[in-house]
Structure 1
Amino acid sequence: MKYYLVAGEASGDLHGANLMKALKERDEQAEFRFFGGDLMQAEGGTLVKHYADMAFMGFIEVVLNLNAILKNLKFCKADIAAWQPDVLILIDFPGFNLKIAEFAKNNNLLVCYYISPKVWAWNQKRVLKIKRIVDHLFCILPFEVDFYKAWGMEVDYVGNPLLDAVAAFKPDENFIINNKLPPKKIIALLPGSRKQEISRLLPEMLGVTDQFPNHQFVIAGAPSFTEDYYRQFIIGKDIPVLFNATYDLLNNADAAIVASGTATLETALFNVPQVVVYKGHPVSIGIARLVVKIKFISLVNLIMDKLVVKELIQQDCATENITAELDKIIDNKNYRSRMMGDYDELDVKMGTPGASAKTAALIIKYATKK
């Protein structure tokens, strides 16, 4: 069968790649065409557009880049129409993908949506649109099933694909030596995968480094950027930037400072104590605070429904606050132990790997019944 996938950010590229691998195991004739990234490209098929040209985060950022977004939408619709896939697989990225879903549904294509849009966070009435334009929705967070049921929508709960990625990870036993790192405990810096995130968060993260001389700080570089891009922020500091090694970095880290997003859950799954940070355009944050109806921003806290990891948002995302929290994570044994105990509970809630395999099997089942 012909599968067209649309992923618009780094996490979508990761989950898309694992899903493609699972689809190939079940469908020897699988053909892929996609919007995605390097990981999806490594699975074969045709990369139409890289997510690095698509990821705009925040209300104001979207407005400022509206022309580019509209061009990408037009191009994506035309490409899907020309290729005529057996099934369209949309991965998260709702601002873009819900528009593609509506187009595809109007053109009688089977629409599968992998990783539910976070409609439970704000403007919940969007569920009604999803019911109309999405044929099959695959959810990865346990509480989403009851949420959609309350709106009269049946969904498939497949578990969380991050568990697949972590389970498939093969650690580099010589990570420290291969990267010429000194014999110090490591603090991982994960400033995100979007330019807006990195430019706002990395300077605050780097501001804490002088306060922890006994630790080695290491930046997890996003694959869509070069080392030169990061070097503008770390002039005069001996801080390496490692690409395509985030899991190895977390596997060796004593603590982490993490941009809010998928990486907060990945960090928890590697049992690394963390502080979560986020800083956006002031107007975007102001709008978000008016419309978003959730208590937390990090996936760890949302899934646990309590404050497990500290969230430093906007004006609170300042070097002195990050330093204070990092100090507690490293030196306060009781504080660190509590967080690790909560991580154990999180592991139980998350369940077992297999999301990619379950989703692939269901997509093939639904596509063959079409």
Structure 2
Amino acid sequence: MKYFIVAGERSGDLHAGNLAAAMRQLDPAVELRGWGGEKMRGAGVQILQRYEELAFMGFWEVLKNLGKIRGFMRLAQQQIEAFSPDALILVDYAGFNLRLARWAKARGIRVFYYIAPKAWAWNKSRVHQLRKYTDLTLAIFPFEVPFFEQYGVPVKYVGNPLFDEIRQFRPDPAFLADRGSKPVVALLPGSRKQEIEAMLKTMAELTRTLPEYQWVIAGISTFPRAFYTSQGGTFQLVFDRTYDLLSVADAAVVTSGTATLETALFRVPEVVVYKTSALTYAIARLLVKIRFISLVNLVADKEVVKELIQGEYTTENTGNELKKLLSDNKFRERQLNEYKILTETLGDREASKTAAHTILNF
């Protein structure tokens, strides 16, 4: 059997890589090609396009790059036709992948969607696209199943793939071995260039304002050191060691995204932050119909972690939240207890194996 997998960003590459590895374990003869990164390549996928070139975020940024995005779409279609796969596996990256699903379905190609578009948050028209253009949606949050079912979308909950990645992780005992007595605060500015640029200034100010903490930024090696140090600040910078950092952190400041849930699963108290362009934020306010932006609060359906968004994301506000997490034991324990409930809600099934088995035996 032949499968073409499309992941358009770092987290998609991570989960698609684990899915591909599970598929190969179940069927060593399976042939895999697609778009992604090193995680997928390491799992035996022949990578035809790197995801880093696809990471456009925000309404204005997408509009500016429409010509480039259309070119990528034509390239993907040509490569899929040349490969002639038995099925197309789309991983997250909804703006691009749903258009690709429509094209594939019209040509009789079976379509699986893994890590579904967040239609429960905004743009509910995507629900109808999933119903019309996919054969099965593989959900990673329990609450997604009843939501999609009410619109007639074929859906199955396979578990959350972050458990798979964390289950495989083995901490490095030498990591920050000489960290001293100061509490370690992890700074997770994100994975895409535009969001990192938006988050770093306040994070750098924070490190200068509160010298009583040991600050460590989780960097990504696709960006140079100078990119992270351009705003000054007093911090250590580690590359591609986010899980090692979370395994020793006492608290964290986390850019909204997958990392908020990862931080919770590592049981690290956190404050969630986010900032984007004024235009993108204004449009999002009109379109997004949810109370929270962090995955932790969305799954819990209540405020478990503090969210500081746009104008609320200041050095003072962030510092005050951190002080409560590090100095107020009751406040800290309350968040940690909610993390335990969150873990029980998600369950601990092996999502990658469940998803792989479902696809191969569909």
The two structures have a TM-score, normalised by structure 2, of 0.97
Using the aligned pairs only, state the percent identity.
47
Give the structure 2 partner of residue 33 of structure 1.
33
Q: Give the alignment partner of residue 204 of structure 2, picking from 200, 203, 206.
A: 206
Distance across 1 between alignment mates of 2:181 and 2:46? 43
Give the structure 2 partner of residue 298 of structure 1.
294
Q: Give the alignment partner of residue 184 of structure 2, picking from 183, 186, 210.
A: 186
The answer to which of 355-364 and 38-47 deviates more is 38-47
Give the structure 1 partner of residue 194 of structure 2.
196
Q: Mind listing any 5+ residue stretches in structure 2 that lack a counterpart? A: none
CA contact 2:137–2:153 (8 Å) conserved in 1: no
Distance across 2 between alignment mates of 1:346 and 1:195? 30
5 Å-filtered alignment, 1:306-345, equals: 306-345=302-341
5 Å-filtered alignment, 1:8-47, equals: 8-47=8-47
Distance across 1 between alignment mates of 2:191 and 2:327? 29
Structure 2 CA distance for partners of 1:333 and 1:183, relative to 1, 3 Å: closer
CA contact 1:167–1:353 (8 Å) conserved in 2: no
The answer to which of 182-191 and 250-259 deviates more is 182-191
Structure 1 residue runs of 4+, over 6 Å off?
Answer: none
Give the structure 1 partner of residue 243 of structure 2.
247
Give the structure 1 partner of residue 169 of structure 2.
169
SS in 2 for 1:208: helix
Count matched residues. Answer: 362
Give the structure 1 partner of residue 59 of structure 2.
59
5 Å-filtered alignment, 1:2-151, equals: 2-151=2-151
Distance across 1 between alignment mates of 2:50 and 2:128? 30
Question: Structure 1, residues 220-259: CA drift from partner, whole Å, max 9, x if none?
Answer: 112422223212233xx44222122110100010000000
Question: Structure 1, residues 291-314: CA drift from partner, whole Å, max 9, x if none?
Answer: 111000000000000000011111
SS in 1 for 2:252: strand
Give the structure 2 partner of residue 227 of structure 1.
225
SS in 1 for 2:82: helix
Q: CA deviation at 1:64?
A: 1.6
Distance across 1 between alignment mates of 2:193 and 2:321? 25
Q: CA deviation at 1:214?
A: 2.7
CA contact 2:131–2:154 (8 Å) conserved in 1: no
Q: CA deviation at 1:360?
A: 0.1
Distance across 2 between alignment mates of 1:57 and 1:210? 29
Distance across 2 between alignment mates of 1:228 and 1:213? 22
The answer to which of 62-71 and 12-21 deviates more is 62-71
Question: Structure 1, residues 332-357: CA drift from partner, whole Å, max 9, x if none?
Answer: 11111111111111111111131000
Q: CA deviation at 1:182?
A: 4.6
Q: CA deviation at 1:54?
A: 0.6
Amino acid at match of 1:212: L
Counterpart check, 1:362 vs 2:358: yes
The two structures have a TM-score, normalised by structure 1, of 0.95
Amino acid at match of 1:126: R
Distance across 1 between alignment mates of 2:62 and 2:180? 42
The answer to which of 211-220 and 126-135 deviates more is 211-220
Q: CA deviation at 1:18?
A: 0.6
Give the structure 1 partner of residue 256 of structure 2.
260
SS in 2 for 1:148: helix
SS in 1 for 2:339: helix
Distance across 1 between alignment mates of 2:153 and 2:63? 31
